[in-house]
A and B are shown apart, each in its own frame.
Chain A
Amino acid sequence: MSNANIVPITMPKWGLSMQEGKVVEWLAQEGALLKLGDQVVDIETEKIANTFEALDAGILRRIVAQPDEVLPIGALLGVLAPAEVSDAEVDEYIAEFQKNYVPPAPEEGEGSDGFQFIEAGGYKLRYSKMGDGARVIILLHGFGGDAAGWLFNQGALAANATVYALDLPGHGQSSKALNDSSVQHLAATVVAFMDALEIAKAELVGHSLGGAIALQAAVDHPNRVSALALIGSAGLGAEINAGYINGFIAAESRKEMKPLLEQLVADANLINRTLINDILQFKRIDGVGEALTAIAKGFQDGSRQTVNLRANLEGLDIPIKVIWGSKDAIIPASHASGLPAKVSVTVLDGFGHLVQLEAAAEVNKLLA
């Protein structure tokens, strides 16, 4: 059998709640030679639309799923195979795949969405855990975000690591009432989370405010942090789009929220109805407004950032990566310049603040 040379492209699972996706448009044509990271097909889930990028190199021999088809995760979208594999063998592979494919049954009950809760640092914290590698990574979202925002990253990183994504206090489904809203306190809470799960040491990947928290944790608790990856991070300079922060706190309706969220990305089409609804649903929970107001005061003063940890980078004896989208409209990519030589800096051209979402494959590669 030549099946070993044939590689399927299947409906990805983006985020814990995704059960199916819709094929929007193929960006690669049959016969195209794909390399890792090439844009292959646009897929829309109920949460978000995104481009699926090649996970393997090879020739796109067959497009199986047609535009507008809605398919469960793991369903066959297309087939990659070298030129020497015959069309008949491709047909046979497809027939075999389809015969054996069983869509995953939707899970039900407690924890079926992949999230768990733990008491730590005086809070009830929600988190998800994927993978079981020896390497331990903790993903820290930004202001107003939550653990589910790592939907394009957590699964990929979990291929060879244990990856936790956490709802910070005041966010997602974690406790909303804060004991303290400083970056230091939030960093201590991350360490308390590690204590509760008996994680001795972890790599911290932080986005935006989560980056400042990760960096603060490394400064305050050096023996607990083995590496840092800071994405579009706060804490590395003074400039910040305070209009976004204030607007996010104040926005009550879809109409107010949409233009704000569009500032997070270079491609505004990423911001769809469900994403906006999810954010609004979060914001309408009792205590969220107060929590966000307090947290915002903890790292900026309404015009500039008030926590600057840039000077601490030099003294940290751990690997540090800094990743930025060149079109970041919240915290400027210029904050990635002038960092100590030991810091590995990558600015991805053409992407916005949510670079881990817009350029997931590239960011995952950098974090791998």
Chain B
Amino acid sequence: MARKITYQQAINEAIDQEMARDENIVLMGEDVVGGSGSDGEMDAWGGVLGVTKGLYGKYGDRIMDTPISESGFVGAAVGAAASGLRPICELMFIDFMGVCFDQIFNQAAKFRYMFGGKAETPVVIRTMYGAGFRAAAQHSQCLYPLFTHIPGLKVVLPSSPYDVKGLLIQAIRDNDPVIFCEHKVLYTMEGDVPEESYTIPFGEANIVREGDDVTIVAFGRMVQQALKAATALAKEGISCEVIDPRTTSPLDEDSILESVENTGRLVVVDEASPRCGMAADISALVARKGFSSLKAPIEVVTPPHTPVPFAGKLEDLYVPNPDKIAAAVRATAGYNA
């Protein structure tokens, strides 16, 4: 597995390989081609950050620009999924869920259950999330806990190039609606990615690093931050196990509980807002089902409960970083040690 490509290239490759395999797959979104109807070039953008660049040349009208009307095209993707296609729909920023949420949570998420198991809705909604681009309050949020709250949706947070390809292929082949959350800061991350198509099952956490003293559960981009903290802490003699759940729904509860059973100490790192988010959810899980294993209070590392600020200095203060994670680990490791 020597070939290294970026997270962004891995997404493109996953879509490419799947579209070559199954002609029922279509891709739609705002400027996923770029140039539709204009007098200039087609595939001018290939997505706002170029993630889908080049696919139009291979798949023509299966790659579709949409008007800027998220309810319209997200709903169309959902309806198409219930009618035999397997659409991949790009919601450019997760923040835009506000203008199309009904089609996701009242329609897509409900069909299978509400129609007595007689409907399948194989739609993937790819969406970009997270802070770090100085993109301010309406283009930087981590709203995946809101999707995680909705039964019937699967929610995926890939943290590496290898994972993003395997999880995206899994998402495309899944018969349920999948919210596929891509952290914009990770797009340039490089890593080993097999050229062949492969899948990673949903609901299986990745034990990214093994350790005995403290369990760190981290999501999405925070996995890399947690690993940096763990490396630094190893030099202090604190051995951290880093768990990346990969999917918030379904959630691999067992891997988290088993790790805490071994370490007795838990730090949860999440870039989403602290209230009703993954940090609160994982804390509740371990408090409820792993109480007897705990040797110290659970620590959480999240942003403050504020909108994402614009100014670089403020945004850097907002996002959890390895130092803050390490401090939390030290706090829990030092409790009654």
Contacts and interface: CB of A to CB of B under 8 A. Distances in A.
On whether A and B touch (CB less than 8 Å), the answer reads yes
Interface stretch (A1-9, A75-83, A106-114, A339-347): A106-114
A87 interface: no
A148 to B, nearest CB: 10
Contacts, number: 39
Contacts of A110: 2
Contacts of A255: 254
Nearest to A112: B2
Given A111-B2, A113-B2, A281 B198 contact: yes
Contacts of A254: 204, 207
A252 B194 contact: no
Contact of A286 (B196, B206, B210): B196
Given A111-B2, A112-B2, A113-B1, A273 B207 contact: yes
Contacts of B204: 253-254
B199 interface: yes
Contacts of A176: 196
A244 interface: no
B198 A272 contact: no
A254 B201 CA distance: 11
Interface in B115-164: 162
B210 A284 contact: no
Nearest to A255: B254
A167 to B, nearest CB: 12
Interface string A232-260: 00000000000000000000111100000
B201 A252 contact: yes
Nearest to A115: B2
Interface hub of A112, A252, A284 (most chain B Cβ within 10 A)? A284
B166 interface: yes
A285 interface: yes
Contacts of A113: 1-2
Given A113-B2, A254-B204, A284-B199, A273 B194 contact: no
A173 B162 CA distance: 15
Given A110-B2, A254-B204, A285 B196 contact: yes
B137 to A, nearest CB: 38
Contact of B194 (A111, A115, A173): A173
Contact of B198 (A252, A273, A284): A284
B198 A253 contact: no
B200 interface: yes
Interface string B195-223: 01111110010110010000000000000
B34 to A, nearest CB: 30
Interface string B295-331: 0000000000000000000000000000000000000
Contacts of B162: 281
B193 to A, nearest CB: 11
Interface string B160-204: 001000100000000000000000000000000010111111001
Given A254-B204, A273-B210, A285 B198 contact: yes
A308 B161 CA distance: 45
Nearest to B192: A113
B201 A253 contact: yes
A289 B155 CA distance: 26
A111 B3 CA distance: 9
Nearest to A276: B207
A285 B196 CA distance: 7
A286 B198 contact: yes
21 contacts: A108-B4, A110-B2, A111-B2, A112-B2, A173-B194, A176-B196, A253-B201, A254-B204, A255-B254, A272-B210, A277-B206, A281-B162, A281-B198, A284-B166, A284-B198, A284-B200, A285-B197, A285-B198, A286-B197, A286-B198, A287-B196
Identify the 8 closest CB pairs spanning chains A and B, nearest first.
A113-B2, A286-B197, A285-B198, A284-B198, A285-B196, A284-B199, A273-B207, A253-B204
Interface of A: 108, 110-113, 115, 173, 176, 252-255, 272-273, 277, 281, 284-287
Given A111-B2, A273-B210, 10 more contacts: A108-B4, A173-B194, A173-B196, A255-B254, A281-B162, A281-B194, A284-B166, A284-B201, A286-B196, A287-B196
